Amino acid sequence: MQLKDFFTKKMKDNEIVEFKSFIKLNRGNKKIVFLIVNDGSIFLDCQVVLKVEKIHNLDEVKNLKKNSVVKIIGKIKMTPEKPQPFEIEAETIEILKECLSDSPLQKKDQTMEFLRKNAHIRSETKIMNAIFRIRSASAFAIHKYFNENNYLYLNTPIITQNDAEGAGETFFVNTEDSKGNLTTDFFDSKATLTVSGQLHAEPFAQTLNKVYTFGPTFRAENSNTTKHMAEFWMVEPEISFFDIKDILIMSEEFLKYVINYLLKNNVFELEYLDNKNQGLLNKLKKIVSEKFKVITYKSALEELKNAHKKGANFEFSNFEFGIDLQSEHEKFLTEEIFKKPVFVIDFPKKIKSFYMKQNDDNQTVSAFDLLVPGIGELIGGSQREDDFDKIFNRCKELKISTKELEWYLNLRKNGYYMSSGFGLGFERLIMFVTNTNNIKDVIPYPRYSKNLQF
Protein backbone atom coordinates (compact mmCIF):
# COMPACT_ATOMS: atom_id res chain seq x y z
CA MET A 1 0.00 0.00 0.00
CA GLN A 2 0.96 3.65 -0.35
CA LEU A 3 0.36 6.49 2.09
CA LYS A 4 -2.07 8.03 -0.38
CA ASP A 5 -4.34 5.01 0.12
CA PHE A 6 -4.54 5.68 3.85
CA PHE A 7 -5.72 9.26 3.25
CA THR A 8 -8.10 8.61 0.35
CA LYS A 9 -9.69 5.29 1.36
CA LYS A 10 -11.93 4.69 4.35
CA MET A 11 -9.51 3.11 6.79
CA LYS A 12 -10.73 1.49 10.00
CA ASP A 13 -9.34 1.92 13.48
CA ASN A 14 -6.79 -0.85 14.26
CA GLU A 15 -6.62 -1.87 10.60
CA ILE A 16 -3.23 -3.48 9.81
CA VAL A 17 -1.17 -1.72 7.12
CA GLU A 18 2.23 -2.37 5.54
CA PHE A 19 4.22 0.17 3.51
CA LYS A 20 7.69 1.52 2.69
CA SER A 21 8.62 5.13 3.25
CA PHE A 22 11.30 7.79 3.73
CA ILE A 23 11.91 9.29 7.16
CA LYS A 24 11.36 13.05 7.13
CA LEU A 25 11.73 13.69 10.86
CA ASN A 26 12.91 11.49 13.74
CA ARG A 27 12.36 12.48 17.38
CA GLY A 28 11.75 10.80 20.73
CA ASN A 29 13.45 9.19 23.72
CA LYS A 30 14.41 5.77 25.09
CA LYS A 31 10.82 4.64 25.48
CA ILE A 32 9.01 6.10 22.48
CA VAL A 33 9.96 7.40 19.04
CA PHE A 34 7.89 9.47 16.62
CA LEU A 35 8.71 9.25 12.91
CA ILE A 36 7.30 11.65 10.36
CA VAL A 37 7.34 9.70 7.10
CA ASN A 38 6.31 10.14 3.48
CA ASP A 39 6.62 7.76 0.53
CA GLY A 40 6.04 10.48 -2.09
CA SER A 41 2.55 9.32 -3.06
CA ILE A 42 0.81 12.27 -1.36
CA PHE A 43 1.68 15.74 -0.14
CA LEU A 44 0.65 15.04 3.45
CA ASP A 45 3.10 13.42 5.89
CA CYS A 46 2.18 10.63 8.30
CA GLN A 47 3.21 10.16 11.93
CA VAL A 48 4.36 6.71 13.06
CA VAL A 49 4.56 5.90 16.78
CA LEU A 50 7.14 3.32 17.96
CA LYS A 51 7.06 2.05 21.54
CA VAL A 52 9.93 0.23 23.25
CA GLU A 53 7.77 -2.70 24.35
CA LYS A 54 6.89 -3.49 20.72
CA ILE A 55 9.91 -2.49 18.63
CA HIS A 56 12.98 -4.63 19.38
CA ASN A 57 15.31 -2.45 17.27
CA LEU A 58 14.16 0.90 18.64
CA ASP A 59 17.72 1.97 19.52
CA GLU A 60 18.76 1.57 15.88
CA VAL A 61 15.67 3.32 14.53
CA LYS A 62 15.95 6.38 16.76
CA ASN A 63 19.42 7.09 15.31
CA LEU A 64 18.30 6.99 11.66
CA LYS A 65 18.93 10.18 9.70
CA LYS A 66 16.46 12.01 7.49
CA ASN A 67 15.87 10.24 4.13
CA SER A 68 16.58 6.77 5.53
CA VAL A 69 14.14 4.20 4.14
CA VAL A 70 12.06 1.88 6.34
CA LYS A 71 9.39 -0.77 5.96
CA ILE A 72 6.62 -0.45 8.51
CA ILE A 73 3.88 -2.85 9.61
CA GLY A 74 1.43 -1.33 12.04
CA LYS A 75 -2.10 -0.37 13.01
CA ILE A 76 -4.11 2.62 11.94
CA LYS A 77 -5.10 4.69 14.95
CA MET A 78 -7.76 7.30 14.26
CA THR A 79 -7.02 10.68 15.90
CA PRO A 80 -10.04 12.92 15.25
CA GLU A 81 -9.04 15.22 18.12
CA LYS A 82 -5.64 15.97 16.54
CA PRO A 83 -4.68 17.95 13.39
CA GLN A 84 -3.89 14.74 11.51
CA PRO A 85 -6.81 12.32 10.92
CA PHE A 86 -4.80 9.28 12.01
CA GLU A 87 -1.39 7.99 13.03
CA ILE A 88 0.20 4.57 12.73
CA GLU A 89 1.22 2.53 15.73
CA ALA A 90 4.12 0.38 14.54
CA GLU A 91 4.24 -3.34 15.23
CA THR A 92 7.52 -3.93 13.38
CA ILE A 93 9.95 -1.73 11.49
CA GLU A 94 12.64 -2.88 9.08
CA ILE A 95 15.53 -0.63 8.05
CA LEU A 96 15.85 -0.92 4.26
CA LYS A 97 18.42 1.80 3.62
CA GLU A 98 20.25 3.94 6.12
CA CYS A 99 21.08 7.47 4.99
CA LEU A 100 24.75 7.98 5.82
CA SER A 101 25.08 11.75 5.53
CA ASP A 102 23.01 14.72 6.60
CA SER A 103 20.95 16.41 3.88
CA PRO A 104 22.03 19.96 2.94
CA LEU A 105 18.40 20.85 3.63
CA GLN A 106 18.48 20.35 7.38
CA LYS A 107 17.23 23.79 8.36
CA LYS A 108 13.49 24.30 8.52
CA ASP A 109 13.54 27.46 6.39
CA GLN A 110 15.91 27.75 3.44
CA THR A 111 16.07 30.69 1.05
CA MET A 112 14.71 30.11 -2.44
CA GLU A 113 18.13 31.02 -3.82
CA PHE A 114 19.74 28.26 -1.74
CA LEU A 115 17.13 25.78 -2.96
CA ARG A 116 17.80 26.85 -6.56
CA LYS A 117 21.47 25.96 -6.10
CA ASN A 118 20.36 22.54 -4.82
CA ALA A 119 17.66 21.99 -7.44
CA HIS A 120 18.23 18.22 -7.54
CA ILE A 121 17.05 17.80 -3.93
CA ARG A 122 14.80 20.83 -3.36
CA SER A 123 11.63 18.76 -3.75
CA GLU A 124 12.44 17.49 -0.22
CA THR A 125 11.06 20.78 1.10
CA LYS A 126 7.32 21.13 1.58
CA ILE A 127 7.05 24.33 -0.44
CA MET A 128 8.78 22.90 -3.51
CA ASN A 129 6.94 19.61 -3.08
CA ALA A 130 3.64 21.52 -3.23
CA ILE A 131 4.70 23.59 -6.25
CA PHE A 132 5.80 20.58 -8.32
CA ARG A 133 2.66 18.61 -7.48
CA ILE A 134 0.61 21.58 -8.66
CA ARG A 135 2.74 21.79 -11.80
CA SER A 136 1.97 18.14 -12.57
CA ALA A 137 -1.75 18.58 -11.89
CA SER A 138 -1.86 21.72 -14.06
CA ALA A 139 -0.31 19.87 -17.00
CA PHE A 140 -2.87 17.10 -16.62
CA ALA A 141 -5.72 19.64 -16.43
CA ILE A 142 -4.49 21.32 -19.62
CA HIS A 143 -4.49 18.06 -21.56
CA LYS A 144 -7.86 17.18 -20.02
CA TYR A 145 -9.43 20.46 -21.14
CA PHE A 146 -8.24 20.07 -24.71
CA ASN A 147 -9.24 16.41 -24.85
CA GLU A 148 -12.74 17.16 -23.58
CA ASN A 149 -13.12 19.96 -26.14
CA ASN A 150 -12.08 17.91 -29.18
CA TYR A 151 -8.57 19.28 -29.73
CA LEU A 152 -5.88 17.15 -31.31
CA TYR A 153 -2.49 17.10 -29.59
CA LEU A 154 0.24 18.06 -32.05
CA ASN A 155 3.99 17.59 -31.59
CA THR A 156 5.72 20.40 -33.44
CA PRO A 157 9.48 20.46 -34.20
CA ILE A 158 12.03 21.43 -31.58
CA ILE A 159 14.72 21.93 -34.26
CA THR A 160 13.60 24.38 -36.94
CA GLN A 161 14.64 27.10 -39.39
CA ASN A 162 11.91 29.49 -38.37
CA ASP A 163 11.97 32.21 -35.73
CA ALA A 164 8.22 32.58 -35.16
CA GLU A 165 8.60 35.85 -33.24
CA GLY A 166 11.18 37.38 -35.56
CA ALA A 167 13.19 38.73 -32.61
CA GLY A 168 16.37 36.82 -33.40
CA GLU A 169 16.71 35.46 -29.86
CA THR A 170 17.32 31.88 -30.96
CA PHE A 171 19.78 29.14 -30.02
CA PHE A 172 21.65 27.74 -33.01
CA VAL A 173 22.12 24.01 -33.43
CA ASN A 174 25.57 23.07 -34.72
CA THR A 175 27.51 19.85 -35.23
CA GLU A 176 31.24 19.21 -35.46
CA ASP A 177 33.10 17.90 -38.49
CA SER A 178 35.90 15.33 -38.24
CA LYS A 179 38.35 18.09 -37.31
CA GLY A 180 36.22 19.42 -34.47
CA ASN A 181 35.04 22.51 -36.34
CA LEU A 182 31.46 23.70 -36.00
CA THR A 183 29.46 23.11 -39.16
CA THR A 184 25.91 23.38 -40.48
CA ASP A 185 26.38 20.49 -42.86
CA PHE A 186 24.09 18.10 -40.98
CA PHE A 187 20.90 19.90 -42.06
CA ASP A 188 22.57 21.76 -44.91
CA SER A 189 20.95 24.94 -43.56
CA LYS A 190 20.65 27.11 -40.51
CA ALA A 191 19.07 25.23 -37.60
CA THR A 192 17.76 26.68 -34.34
CA LEU A 193 15.82 25.54 -31.30
CA THR A 194 12.17 26.51 -31.55
CA VAL A 195 10.79 29.66 -29.93
CA SER A 196 7.20 28.61 -30.66
CA GLY A 197 5.20 25.79 -32.24
CA GLN A 198 2.59 28.16 -33.64
CA LEU A 199 3.69 28.40 -37.27
CA HIS A 200 3.81 24.62 -37.58
CA ALA A 201 0.43 24.24 -35.87
CA GLU A 202 -1.47 26.61 -38.18
CA PRO A 203 -1.52 24.33 -41.26
CA PHE A 204 -2.85 21.45 -39.14
CA ALA A 205 -5.61 23.64 -37.71
CA GLN A 206 -6.76 24.31 -41.28
CA THR A 207 -7.41 20.60 -41.81
CA LEU A 208 -8.00 19.28 -38.27
CA ASN A 209 -9.99 22.29 -36.96
CA LYS A 210 -8.64 22.45 -33.38
CA VAL A 211 -5.09 21.52 -32.40
CA TYR A 212 -2.68 22.37 -29.62
CA THR A 213 0.99 22.00 -28.79
CA PHE A 214 2.45 21.71 -25.31
CA GLY A 215 6.20 21.44 -25.21
CA PRO A 216 9.57 23.04 -24.53
CA THR A 217 10.58 26.29 -26.21
CA PHE A 218 13.83 28.24 -26.10
CA ARG A 219 14.81 31.92 -26.08
CA ALA A 220 18.39 33.19 -26.10
CA GLU A 221 17.51 36.24 -24.01
CA ASN A 222 20.56 37.34 -22.05
CA SER A 223 18.49 38.43 -19.07
CA ASN A 224 18.24 37.32 -15.47
CA THR A 225 14.78 38.50 -14.47
CA THR A 226 12.17 36.81 -12.29
CA LYS A 227 9.98 36.06 -15.35
CA HIS A 228 12.40 34.85 -18.05
CA MET A 229 14.36 31.67 -18.72
CA ALA A 230 16.23 30.20 -21.67
CA GLU A 231 14.17 26.99 -21.61
CA PHE A 232 10.49 26.90 -20.73
CA TRP A 233 7.23 25.23 -21.72
CA MET A 234 4.49 26.70 -23.87
CA VAL A 235 0.84 25.81 -24.38
CA GLU A 236 -0.31 26.85 -27.85
CA PRO A 237 -3.79 26.06 -29.19
CA GLU A 238 -4.72 26.94 -32.78
CA ILE A 239 -8.33 26.94 -33.97
CA SER A 240 -9.69 27.45 -37.46
CA PHE A 241 -12.83 29.60 -37.97
CA PHE A 242 -12.08 31.50 -34.73
CA ASP A 243 -11.88 35.28 -34.78
CA ILE A 244 -10.49 37.48 -31.99
CA LYS A 245 -13.75 37.43 -30.01
CA ASP A 246 -13.85 33.64 -30.08
CA ILE A 247 -10.29 33.23 -28.87
CA LEU A 248 -10.88 35.65 -25.97
CA ILE A 249 -13.85 33.57 -24.80
CA MET A 250 -11.88 30.35 -25.16
CA SER A 251 -8.85 31.77 -23.28
CA GLU A 252 -10.94 32.76 -20.29
CA GLU A 253 -12.76 29.42 -20.25
CA PHE A 254 -9.46 27.53 -20.50
CA LEU A 255 -7.77 29.36 -17.62
CA LYS A 256 -10.79 29.01 -15.34
CA TYR A 257 -11.00 25.29 -16.14
CA VAL A 258 -7.40 24.68 -15.06
CA ILE A 259 -7.81 26.70 -11.85
CA ASN A 260 -11.07 24.93 -10.98
CA TYR A 261 -9.32 21.60 -11.46
CA LEU A 262 -6.60 22.61 -8.98
CA LEU A 263 -9.12 23.92 -6.45
CA LYS A 264 -10.84 20.55 -6.54
CA ASN A 265 -7.86 18.18 -6.75
CA ASN A 266 -4.97 19.94 -5.00
CA VAL A 267 -6.58 21.12 -1.79
CA PHE A 268 -3.71 20.09 0.52
CA GLU A 269 -1.03 21.79 -1.58
CA LEU A 270 -3.02 25.00 -2.07
CA GLU A 271 -3.91 25.22 1.62
CA TYR A 272 -0.24 24.83 2.54
CA LEU A 273 0.79 27.58 0.11
CA ASP A 274 -2.09 29.77 1.30
CA ASN A 275 -0.78 29.46 4.86
CA LYS A 276 2.65 30.54 3.59
CA ASN A 277 1.22 33.38 1.51
CA GLN A 278 -2.21 34.48 2.69
CA GLY A 279 -4.63 35.30 -0.10
CA LEU A 280 -3.79 32.61 -2.65
CA LEU A 281 -7.03 30.65 -2.29
CA ASN A 282 -9.17 33.79 -2.27
CA LYS A 283 -7.39 35.02 -5.39
CA LEU A 284 -7.98 31.79 -7.29
CA LYS A 285 -11.63 31.56 -6.22
CA LYS A 286 -12.17 35.18 -7.28
CA ILE A 287 -10.59 34.50 -10.69
CA VAL A 288 -12.99 31.67 -11.53
CA SER A 289 -16.08 33.53 -10.30
CA GLU A 290 -15.70 36.84 -12.15
CA LYS A 291 -15.89 37.87 -15.78
CA PHE A 292 -12.57 39.15 -17.15
CA LYS A 293 -12.30 42.77 -18.27
CA VAL A 294 -11.74 43.59 -21.98
CA ILE A 295 -10.23 46.94 -23.01
CA THR A 296 -8.41 48.25 -26.06
CA TYR A 297 -4.75 49.20 -25.98
CA LYS A 298 -5.73 52.86 -26.46
CA SER A 299 -8.12 52.67 -23.50
CA ALA A 300 -5.41 51.07 -21.38
CA LEU A 301 -3.10 54.00 -22.14
CA GLU A 302 -5.84 56.46 -21.15
CA GLU A 303 -6.41 54.64 -17.86
CA LEU A 304 -2.70 54.76 -17.10
CA LYS A 305 -2.41 58.43 -18.12
CA ASN A 306 -5.29 59.39 -15.83
CA ALA A 307 -3.83 57.39 -12.95
CA HIS A 308 -0.47 59.11 -13.46
CA LYS A 309 -2.13 62.54 -13.39
CA LYS A 310 -3.77 61.58 -10.11
CA GLY A 311 -0.44 60.67 -8.53
CA ALA A 312 0.34 57.10 -9.52
CA ASN A 313 4.11 56.72 -9.66
CA PHE A 314 5.50 54.92 -12.75
CA GLU A 315 9.12 54.44 -13.71
CA PHE A 316 7.98 54.57 -17.35
CA SER A 317 5.48 57.41 -17.71
CA ASN A 318 5.48 57.87 -21.48
CA PHE A 319 2.02 56.78 -22.59
CA GLU A 320 2.19 57.70 -26.26
CA PHE A 321 0.54 55.37 -28.75
CA GLY A 322 3.05 52.73 -29.83
CA ILE A 323 4.83 52.11 -26.54
CA ASP A 324 5.07 48.55 -25.26
CA LEU A 325 3.27 48.17 -21.93
CA GLN A 326 5.76 47.60 -19.13
CA SER A 327 5.35 45.12 -16.30
CA GLU A 328 4.48 47.93 -13.90
CA HIS A 329 1.70 49.06 -16.23
CA GLU A 330 0.28 45.56 -16.55
CA LYS A 331 0.24 45.06 -12.79
CA PHE A 332 -1.34 48.47 -12.18
CA LEU A 333 -4.18 47.72 -14.61
CA THR A 334 -4.96 44.38 -12.97
CA GLU A 335 -4.22 45.11 -9.33
CA GLU A 336 -5.15 48.77 -8.88
CA ILE A 337 -7.63 49.80 -11.56
CA PHE A 338 -9.72 46.73 -12.42
CA LYS A 339 -8.64 44.30 -9.66
CA LYS A 340 -9.13 41.32 -11.95
CA PRO A 341 -7.65 39.75 -15.11
CA VAL A 342 -7.72 42.10 -18.09
CA PHE A 343 -7.69 41.39 -21.82
CA VAL A 344 -5.92 44.21 -23.68
CA ILE A 345 -6.76 44.09 -27.41
CA ASP A 346 -5.95 45.94 -30.65
CA PHE A 347 -2.24 46.59 -30.15
CA PRO A 348 -0.15 48.78 -32.49
CA LYS A 349 1.11 46.52 -35.25
CA LYS A 350 4.65 47.90 -34.97
CA ILE A 351 5.14 46.24 -31.55
CA LYS A 352 3.53 42.93 -32.48
CA SER A 353 4.49 39.93 -34.61
CA PHE A 354 4.22 39.74 -38.38
CA TYR A 355 1.55 37.00 -38.46
CA MET A 356 -1.15 38.97 -36.63
CA LYS A 357 -4.31 40.07 -38.45
CA GLN A 358 -4.12 43.72 -39.44
CA ASN A 359 -7.16 45.81 -38.53
CA ASP A 360 -8.87 48.14 -40.98
CA ASP A 361 -7.25 51.21 -39.39
CA ASN A 362 -3.85 49.95 -40.69
CA GLN A 363 -2.38 50.91 -37.31
CA THR A 364 -3.40 48.06 -35.05
CA VAL A 365 -3.61 44.28 -35.14
CA SER A 366 -6.27 41.90 -33.90
CA ALA A 367 -4.18 40.70 -30.99
CA PHE A 368 -4.54 40.41 -27.23
CA ASP A 369 -2.58 40.01 -24.03
CA LEU A 370 -4.26 38.54 -20.96
CA LEU A 371 -2.89 40.33 -17.91
CA VAL A 372 -3.37 38.84 -14.45
CA PRO A 373 -2.68 40.19 -10.94
CA GLY A 374 0.81 39.52 -9.60
CA ILE A 375 2.23 38.34 -12.92
CA GLY A 376 1.29 40.74 -15.69
CA GLU A 377 1.14 39.07 -19.09
CA LEU A 378 0.09 35.43 -18.83
CA ILE A 379 -1.30 34.73 -22.32
CA GLY A 380 -0.62 36.40 -25.66
CA GLY A 381 -2.61 35.62 -28.79
CA SER A 382 -4.18 36.88 -31.96
CA GLN A 383 -6.27 36.27 -35.00
CA ARG A 384 -3.85 35.32 -37.79
CA GLU A 385 -3.38 37.30 -40.97
CA ASP A 386 -5.00 35.38 -43.83
CA ASP A 387 -4.23 37.84 -46.64
CA PHE A 388 -1.07 36.84 -48.55
CA ASP A 389 -0.11 40.33 -49.71
CA LYS A 390 -0.49 41.83 -46.25
CA ILE A 391 1.57 39.22 -44.44
CA PHE A 392 4.20 39.16 -47.21
CA ASN A 393 4.60 42.94 -47.08
CA ARG A 394 4.70 42.86 -43.29
CA CYS A 395 7.65 40.46 -43.44
CA LYS A 396 9.39 42.82 -45.83
CA GLU A 397 8.79 45.74 -43.46
CA LEU A 398 10.34 43.82 -40.58
CA LYS A 399 13.18 42.44 -42.72
CA ILE A 400 12.08 38.85 -42.04
CA SER A 401 13.25 36.31 -44.62
CA THR A 402 10.30 35.41 -46.85
CA LYS A 403 12.36 32.58 -48.36
CA GLU A 404 12.64 30.72 -45.04
CA LEU A 405 8.92 31.30 -44.43
CA GLU A 406 7.79 30.58 -47.98
CA TRP A 407 5.96 27.38 -46.94
CA TYR A 408 4.06 29.29 -44.25
CA LEU A 409 3.23 32.37 -46.31
CA ASN A 410 2.01 30.32 -49.26
CA LEU A 411 -0.66 28.73 -47.09
CA ARG A 412 -2.60 31.95 -47.76
CA LYS A 413 -2.75 30.97 -51.44
CA ASN A 414 -4.03 27.47 -50.67
CA GLY A 415 -7.42 28.03 -49.10
CA TYR A 416 -6.21 29.34 -45.74
CA TYR A 417 -9.15 30.78 -43.83
CA MET A 418 -9.65 32.50 -40.52
CA SER A 419 -7.57 31.10 -37.66
CA SER A 420 -6.73 32.21 -34.12
CA GLY A 421 -4.59 30.98 -31.26
CA PHE A 422 -2.51 31.93 -28.27
CA GLY A 423 0.63 31.09 -26.36
CA LEU A 424 0.61 30.55 -22.60
CA GLY A 425 3.88 30.32 -20.73
CA PHE A 426 3.35 27.26 -18.56
CA GLU A 427 5.82 28.38 -15.89
CA ARG A 428 4.08 31.75 -15.59
CA LEU A 429 0.82 29.90 -15.04
CA ILE A 430 2.43 27.91 -12.21
CA MET A 431 3.81 31.13 -10.72
CA PHE A 432 0.29 32.55 -10.78
CA VAL A 433 -1.50 29.57 -9.20
CA THR A 434 1.12 29.12 -6.46
CA ASN A 435 1.96 32.78 -5.70
CA THR A 436 5.62 32.13 -6.54
CA ASN A 437 7.71 35.22 -7.24
CA ASN A 438 10.49 33.73 -9.38
CA ILE A 439 9.99 31.62 -12.51
CA LYS A 440 13.12 29.63 -11.68
CA ASP A 441 11.28 28.12 -8.71
CA VAL A 442 8.48 26.46 -10.70
CA ILE A 443 10.51 24.29 -13.07
CA PRO A 444 12.61 21.33 -11.82
CA TYR A 445 15.93 22.38 -13.37
CA PRO A 446 15.95 26.05 -14.47
CA ARG A 447 18.07 27.09 -17.47
CA TYR A 448 18.97 30.74 -17.74
CA SER A 449 21.83 33.06 -18.63
CA LYS A 450 25.13 31.99 -17.02
CA ASN A 451 23.50 28.91 -15.48
CA LEU A 452 23.50 25.31 -16.71
CA GLN A 453 23.71 23.34 -13.46
CA PHE A 454 22.77 19.70 -13.31
Q: Count other C-beta atoms under 10 Å from residue 36's C-beta.
A: 16
Which amino acid, 143? H
**Could you give phi then psi for residue 158, rounded to 5 degrees?**
-90, -35
Alpha carbon separation from 56 to 22, 37, 60 (Å, rounded):
20, 20, 9
The DSSP-derived string for 280-307 is HHHHHHHHHHSPPEEEEHHHHHHHHHHH
Which amino acid, 96? L
- For helices 280-289 and 267-276, what crossing angle results, to 10°? 120
CA dist 155 and 82 (Å) reads: 49
Q: pLDDT truncated to tens, each residue of the chain (454 aa)?
A: 899 999 999 889 999 999 999 999 999 988 899 999 999 999 999 999 999 999 999 999 999 999 999 999 999 999 988 888 999 999 999 999 999 888 888 766 788 888 989 999 999 999 999 999 999 999 999 999 999 999 999 999 999 988 777 666 889 887 777 777 777 678 888 889 999 999 999 999 999 999 999 999 999 888 778 888 999 999 999 999 999 999 999 999 999 999 999 999 999 999 999 998 889 999 999 999 999 999 999 999 999 999 999 999 999 999 999 999 999 999 999 999 999 999 999 999 999 999 999 999 999 999 999 999 999 999 999 999 999 999 999 999 999 989 989 999 999 998 899 999 999 999 999 999 999 999 999 999 999 888 888 8
Quick one: 309 exposed, middle or buried, by C-beta within 10 A (0-12, 13-18, 19+)?
exposed
Q: Count other C-beta atoms under 10 Å from residue 331's C-beta.
A: 16
